[in-house]
Amino acid sequence: MTLLVLLLVPLIEIVVIIAVGQAIGGWLTFVLLVACSLLGAVLIKREGSRTWGALRKALASGRMPAKEIADAALVLVGGVLLLTPGFVTAAVGLFFLLPFTRPVTRRWLELAVGRRLLCTPGVPPGMGGPSGTGPGRKPPPDDDVIEGEIL
């Protein structure tokens, strides 16, 4: 899956860049790509410092900073995508970085990570996992205590 994404994303970016270049011209396309990267740098700095401040505040108050850690990861990934030349990656990166779209992305990230953590490899979802007993899972141990003597 990762290999497929690594092969398809650059191909899609090249097709979109060529299409935009044909529609508005090569120099304007180049200027737009540079502007996207500059916008990404500004947004990374602004949102990164906001996220870092929220993370420090959560840690200082003694609560678990799950939301802040997810936001920090989204800002990092969004920044990298915005700095990568291309219109498709810039759009996705912008979606990860903007404060009003980040909650949607954070929810998607939580669902993806939760599904990944709760699914046992080789066992379909809902057929087992840490809390279930399905094919490929051992039943929970009995509460019987076996007394013995170690020599």
Each residue of 3-37: pLDDT tens digit?
888 899 999 999 999 999 999 999 999 999 999 88
List of long-range contacts for 8-17, beta carbons under 8 Å, 24+ apart? 9/88, 9/89, 12/88, 13/85, 13/86, 13/87, 13/88, 13/89, 16/86, 16/87, 16/88, 17/85, 17/86, 17/87
User: Most confidently modeled of 21-25, 46-50, 76-80?
Assistant: 21-25
Could you report the per-residue pLDDT of 103-131, keeping only the tens digit for each? 888 888 888 878 877 765 655 555 554 54
Q: What is the DSSP letter of 144?
A: -
What is the pLDDT confidence band of residue 40, given thresholds at 50, 70 and 90? confident
* pLDDT mean over 78-86: 87
121 vs 84, residue with greater confidence: 84
